[in-house]
Amino acid sequence: MDSRGIYFTPNETNSKHYLLLFITWPFLALITAFMNYSDKGAKKIVFIFLIYYGLTFFIDSGSLNDSARYSLSLKANAALPFRDFFKVIGGLNSDTTIDIIDPLISFIVSRVTSRHNILFAVYASVFGFFYLKSFNLLYNRYRENPGWDALIHMIFFAGILPITAINGFRMWTAVWVFFYGAYHVILYRDIKYLLITFFAPLVHWSFVIPNAILLLYFFIGNRNLIYLPLALVSFVLPRIMTQYFALISLKLGGSLQNRYEMYSNTEYVAGVQESASDLSWFMKIGGDLVFYYLLIAIIVARLKSRNFDRDKQAENLFSFLLIFLSFVNFGMGIPSLGIRFRLVFFVFAILYVFLYLVKIPGTKISILTLIGLFPMILHIAIAFRQGSDSINAWLFSPFFGLPLLAPGISVSSLLF
C-alpha cells in the first residue's frame, strides 16, 4: 500500500521497480531481470531492453553489412510518396521478392523518420517477440525440474541466435518465427500454429522450404524406417539435392527461381568461398563443432532415453529432426542456404537434447554437457564477435537514452 492508501499486487510493485531501475541503468535492469526471470515484470524488462538495443543500434559509416543496406533503403523509402505503398504490396507477386514484411516495415517507418534507430527498434520488437516466446517454451519446462545440464543447454539455445542477429533481420527473424510455430505443430500436432510458420516466408522467402518439410512430416507422421536411411544417405551424397532445388525453382518460376539462381550461380558461390577463406580458424570450425556435438548428443539422448519413458513429443521431434537433417545435408551444395538452414537445425536439435536432459535427476553436470561446453562457448563467442559491430558501447552505461546523445562507438571498435 502506498501513502494514498492504494494497494498494489506484487507484480505491479515489481514492474514499477524494474522500470525505475531500467531508466536509471538499463543494463543493470537487464541483469536483474535475468536473475528473476520467473517474474512477469522481469520478462517485460528483457523485452524492453531488446527494443532498446535496436534503438541504439550502431552502423559504421563504411559498413557493408545488411544493416547498412536496410538503412539506405529506409532513406530511399522516405523520399517516396505514400501512393508507392501499393507498389511495395505489389512486390509480393513480382520477380524480385516474396518476403514482404521488411519492405512494409521500412516503408511505414519511413513515413515517420529516415533515421535507422527507429527502424531497428521495430526490427528488435518483432525479432524479440518470437525470440522470447521461443525461449520461454524451454524456460517453462526447466522450472519444472531445474538442473545444470538443462540450464546450460537452455543458455546455449538463447545464445545461438541472439538479438544482434537483427543485423540480418529477414533470415534470422524468420528462424524464430518458424521455430515458435513449428514447436507446437511438431510436439503437439496443433495445426493452427501452421499460420505462424506460414508467416515465416513473408519474412524471408527461403522458409517456403522448411514449411514444405514441416507439412510433409505433419501428414506422413513418424516414419523413422524411411527417415533414418534418408538421413544416413544424406551424409554420403550431399550434393544431389541441388538438382531438386533447381527443378523445383524452375517449376515454380518467378521470384523463387530468381532467388535460387542468385544463391547458386558460380559467381555467388565463389564470393562466399572467398569470404570464408578470410575468416579466423575458430570461425571456420565453430559451426562444424556444434553440428557434430549435437549429432552425438542426439544419439546419446536417443539411446539413453530408453531408460526413461519416451514421451510422444520427443518422438515427434526426433522424426522431424531426421527429415530436416537430410535436407540440410543435401542443401550444403548451396553454400549460403546450407549454412543458414544448418542453424535452423541447431535450434531444434538443442531442443531435443534439452528435452532429454531436463528429465534427468540430480544437480551434477554430465559428461555429455562437458563435451559440448567448448563448441557452445565458441559458437556464442563467435555470435558476440559478429554482433559487436552493431552494439553501441554506450548501451552498457547508466541513464536511459545516453547512447542516443553520446557519439556512437561500437563494442568491436573498443575490444577488437
Tens digit of each residue's pLDDT, the chain (416 residues)? 333 333 334 455 567 888 899 999 999 999 999 999 999 889 999 999 999 999 999 988 766 788 889 998 899 888 888 877 777 665 543 444 678 899 889 999 999 999 999 999 999 999 999 999 999 999 999 998 899 999 999 999 999 999 999 999 999 999 999 999 999 999 999 999 999 999 999 999 889 999 999 999 999 989 999 999 999 998 887 655 555 555 555 555 555 555 555 554 444 444 444 444 445 556 668 889 999 999 999 999 998 877 555 688 999 999 999 999 999 988 876 766 778 899 999 999 999 999 999 988 777 899 999 999 999 999 999 999 989 999 999 999 999 988 888 888 889 888 87
In whole angstroms, give the CA distance from residue 225 to residue 143.
35
In whole angstroms, give the CA distance from residue 378 to residue 372.
10
Predicted pLDDT of residue 65? 80
In whole angstroms, give the CA distance from residue 127 to residue 201.
15
Contacts 24+ apart (CB under 8 A), 134-141: 134/176, 134/179, 134/180, 134/183, 134/347, 136/43, 137/180, 137/183, 138/351, 138/354, 139/37, 141/354, 141/355, 141/358
In whole angstroms, give the CA distance from residue 414 to residue 238.
41
Residue found under cell 530408453: 306
Nearest to 395 by CA among 209, 239, 163, 197: 163
CA distances from 207 to 171, 179, 198, 199, 328 (A): 9, 11, 8, 9, 13
- Asked whether the beta carbons of 109 and 119 are under 8 A apart, the reply is yes
Q: Give me the phi and psi of 13, to 5 degrees please.
A: -65, -45
- Asked whether the beta carbons of 293 and 242 are under 8 A apart, the reply is no
- Asked whether the beta carbons of 339 and 275 are under 8 A apart, the reply is no
Beta bridge partners of 45: none
Residue found under cell 554482433: 387
Largest Cα span, the chain:
73
> What secondary structure does DSSP assign to 187-250, as a single string?
HH--GGGHHHHTTHHHH-GGGHHHHHHHHHHHHH---HHHHHHHHHHHHH-TTTHHHHHHHHHH
In whole angstroms, give the CA distance from residue 223 to residue 244.
22
In whole angstroms, give the CA distance from residue 298 to residue 310.
14
Predicted pLDDT of residue 244? 58
How many CA atoms within 13 Å lie on the side-chain side of 353? 29
Considering the entire predicted model, what is its pTM? 0.86
Predicted pLDDT of residue 274? 43
CA distances from 349 to 9, 179, 317, 325, 343 (A): 40, 11, 9, 10, 10
| Residue ranges of domains in the chain | 8-58+394-416, 146-390
In whole angstroms, give the CA distance from residue 175 to residue 208.
12
Structure-block grid coordinates of residue 377:
562457448
In whole angstroms, give the CA distance from residue 82 to residue 79.
9
